[in-house]
Structure 1
Amino acid sequence: MSSLVSSAFLAVLNAAAIHLSVTPPSHASPAEQEKFKSNKKPSDGLSFVQLNLGFMRTINAGFCLCNLYMLLATIYPALLPSSVVRTIFAPNFATTLPTAAIFTPSNTYIYGSFVLYFGAYIRLITYRALGRFFTFELSVKDEHKLITTGPYAVVRHPAYFGAIFVCIGLVTVHLFSPGTWWVECGLWSTWYGKVFGVLWAANLSLIQVQLLARVPKEDHVLRQVFGEQWNEWAQKTPYAVIPFVW
């Protein structure tokens, strides 16, 4: 029973961490976005990421519910659907019943979860540091202030640093962790599981590329808006995303 409780706790906590990481704390108003466009600043390239946010939250909730469902099914086998449905949803248990031992959290699951939590923590403290100035849209708000303390004293774009760890942790706990629904129920052994898994991992990787491509654009905007204040900050904080690397 303790392993089931641990697995359920991780499933819920992971889902919450992912949800918070991909949910914008505030939005730029249409007027602020129009002001941004009228100043002929570079495009923020966020369209692809924005289209994915709702999809990511839905998939994340789906993985959480599937994990919890299989954990409950080890206690209450009557919850399991027919063998035909199980052939699709849990092919490894189409004709047999899952046991609690199968869903014991593996080291991969635990380590992946902590990588995810680290990334989520970084993103949440950046949300708090910027407050209402943090938006997923590339914009400059009225009375905008340049925040150079907290995580912004380490790198200029710490939210993207956190996003790297969120992505690594997410892919690990969703697709590659023994002791979870996806791996133990054999979704990788199906053609549709392979297709979804590859597309999901590729999509998340592409999101990271899109986010990191925004770094020079954001620096350009901030340099134009804050001038010498930004230059002084860039000298004190030379790394954009990854400490001592970039």
Structure 2
Amino acid sequence: MSVSSIGEIAWVLGIVAWYFIRRPYERRAKRVRVVSHRRSTSEKLGLAAALLGLAIIPAFYVATGIPEGADHPARLWAVVLGAAIFCLAMWVFRRTHKELGRNWSITLEIRDKHELIRRGPYALVRHPMYTSFLLMGVGQAFLLPNWVAGLAGLAGFAVLFLLRVDKEERMMMEMFGSEYRDYMADTKRIIPYIY
């Protein structure tokens, strides 16, 4: 088995893990009443960009090898590093969902009895879900030896982050006021101690 095949298998296993982590929370979220939301066209574009970059483009590459003109040599060290980063992404992803519990939503929503979570990964960063997507994008870049498919995850993450994080923080400030402002002063956005 080639190194590039090992990287592709690791990426597929990571995406399967992502699905199985998220699925139960999606089902539970449907049972919790939404009090307010900030759904918008830009949010839909951000979610579509993330889906395209972190799932559709790399899945198409894994299935077809296209665009093969953008391939570069696969390296074992890169696949090992990419798999480790993707595993870390899934760990953060799962912990984030677990801590959010009934507050979780795929869109910008405030749910009934919404609370500000400051434990687990939320003790270090305000948006650990985005941290997990960033880690997925970095892991994907190491796992898939193709400049387009490998880097598509980081591009998709960037679009989602830029279109959504400011709106999310404004919504949380409206909901929690000075409590959220204090939380912002105590934490970084997505990278502990840095940003």
CA spacing shift, 1:89–1:205, aligned 2, 3 Å? closer
What does residue 205 of structure 1 align with? 154
Alpha-carbon distance between aligned partners in 2 of 1:47 and 1:14, rounded to the nearest angstrom:
25
Alpha-carbon distance between aligned partners in 1 of 2:187 and 2:54, rounded to the nearest angstrom:
32
Deviation string 1:41-84 (CA, Å, 9 cap, x unpaired) is: x84833124335278545555566679xxxxxxxxxxxxxxxxx
Q: Which amino acid aligns with 1:228?
A: S
1:100-111 alignment, distance < 5 Å = 106-111=76-81
Aligned residues: 183
- Aligned-pair identity in percent equals 21
Match of 2:104 among 134, 137, 143: 134
What does residue 188 of structure 1 align with? none
CA contact under 8 A between 2:134 and 2:154: conserved in structure 1?
no
Deviation string 1:144-180 (CA, Å, 9 cap, x unpaired) is: 111110100011111112211110111221125xxxx
1:166 paired with 2:116, answer no
TM-score, structure 2 normalization: 0.72
Q: Which moved more, 1:157-166 or 1:4-13?
A: 4-13
1:64-213 alignment, distance < 5 Å = 106-175=76-145, 197-198=147-148, 200-201=149-150, 203-213=152-162
The answer to which structure, 1 or 2, has the higher relative contact order (CA under 8 A, 6+ apart) is 2
CA spacing shift, 1:44–1:228, aligned 2, 3 Å? farther
CA contact under 8 A between 1:36 and 1:140: conserved in structure 2?
yes
CA contact under 8 A between 2:131 and 2:191: conserved in structure 1?
yes
What does residue 46 of structure 1 align with? 43
Alpha-carbon distance between aligned partners in 2 of 1:219 and 1:44, rounded to the nearest angstrom:
18
Q: 2:109 is paired with a residue of what secondary structure?
A: coil
1:36 paired with 2:37, answer yes
What does residue 230 of structure 1 align with? 180
After superposition, the CA RMSD in angstroms is 3.6
CA spacing shift, 1:227–1:89, aligned 2, 3 Å? closer
What does residue 193 of structure 1 align with? none
Alpha-carbon distance between aligned partners in 1 of 2:87 and 2:41, rounded to the nearest angstrom:
27
Alpha-carbon distance between aligned partners in 1 of 2:64 and 2:158, rounded to the nearest angstrom:
29
Match of 2:170 among 220, 224, 228: 220
CA contact under 8 A between 1:120 and 1:163: conserved in structure 2?
no
Deviation string 1:154-207 (CA, Å, 9 cap, x unpaired) is: 11111112211110111221125xxxxxxxxxxxxxxxxxxxx43x45643332
Deviation string 1:189-245 (CA, Å, 9 cap, x unpaired) is: xxxxxxxx43x456433322223222222111111111232233233x331111121
Structure 1: runs of 5 or more not aligned = 68-87, 92-103, 177-196
Q: Which moved more, 1:145-154 or 1:10-19?
A: 10-19
CA contact under 8 A between 2:14 and 2:90: conserved in structure 1?
yes
Alpha-carbon distance between aligned partners in 2 of 1:169 and 1:26, rounded to the nearest angstrom:
24
What does residue 194 of structure 2 align with? 245
1:26 paired with 2:8, answer no
CA contact under 8 A between 1:112 and 1:168: conserved in structure 2?
yes
TM-score, structure 1 normalization: 0.59
CA contact under 8 A between 2:37 and 2:110: conserved in structure 1?
yes
CA spacing shift, 1:170–1:6, aligned 2, 3 Å? closer
Q: 1:140 is paired with a residue of what secondary structure?
A: strand
